[in-house]
Amino acid sequence: MTRSRLTLVAPLALALAACGSSQQQTTAAAPATTTTPGGCRSVTPPPAEQRHGTKPTTSLDPSKTYDVTVRTNCGSFVIRLAVKTSPQTTASFVALARAGYFDRTVFHRIVPGFIIQGGDPTGSGTGDPGYKTVDPPPPDTQYTFGTVAMAKTQTEAPGTSGSQFFVVTGADAGLPAEYAVLGAVVAGIPVVRRIGKLGDPTTEQPTETVELERATVRVR
């Protein structure tokens, strides 16, 4: 298993323009937004780069609810973190999100009916923050639609994770209980479904650029 700016024109400038011989006032049109065939906002692919993070030394407060909003050019969705099930994984994910580690990265792997995968600033599928955490999932864990878990290599121990995560877009991914559970999508399901269609099932590569523009954490 392996982002718009509003430009204001000064009133004086408008007045001077209106004093022309034609007495015709013009207004500037806002830039048009281009939509991709997949229904997302067209964006320029962000640069691939290696990034590093700092491994947190404390866990999150299990009595609180942590929601991470993932904003993309296809819309936003919200992940509710499984703090009690995966204390090290969730603490790391929150630390990375707050540090901007995920901002301007892409979903580098999209397999329709299976998963969408991101969290790698290099976009290669091999990047990580320079450290690992381990939270073995419960033996009865099932990776059903909307489940969010952490990717790992086949040789790594169950529950090992860096920064790469995946969202299950099929009814059941049919994976063994080896991937640390990050949480579940609790809002923005249509966005997840939209992104989940933008991949080539043969190559597992995106058919469009899907950018994770920003990840923000809300605590309640």
The length of the chain in residues reads: 220
Q: What is the pTM of this model?
A: 0.85
Query: What was the pLDDT predicted at 4?
Result: 34
**Contact present, 118 and 107 (Cβ < 8 Å):** yes
> In this predicted structure, what is the pLDDT of residue 116?
98
Q: What are the tens digits of pLDDT across the range 170-219?
A: 999 999 999 999 999 999 999 999 999 999 999 999 999 999 999 999 99
- How much is the pLDDT for 18? 42
Other C-beta atoms within 10 Å of 33: how many?
8
What domains are there in the chain, each with its CATH number? 66-219 (2.40.100.10)
Please list the ranges in the chain whose pLDDT falls under 70: 1-32
> Among 208, 211, 166, 184, which residue's Cα sits nearest to residue 38?
208
The answer to whether the beta carbons of residues 190 and 77 sit under 8 Å apart is no
The residues that bridge with 69 in the sheet, in sequence order, are: 78, 216
Give the helix/strand (H/E) hosting 193: helix 189-196
Residue 83 has φ and ψ, to the nearest 5°, of -60, -40
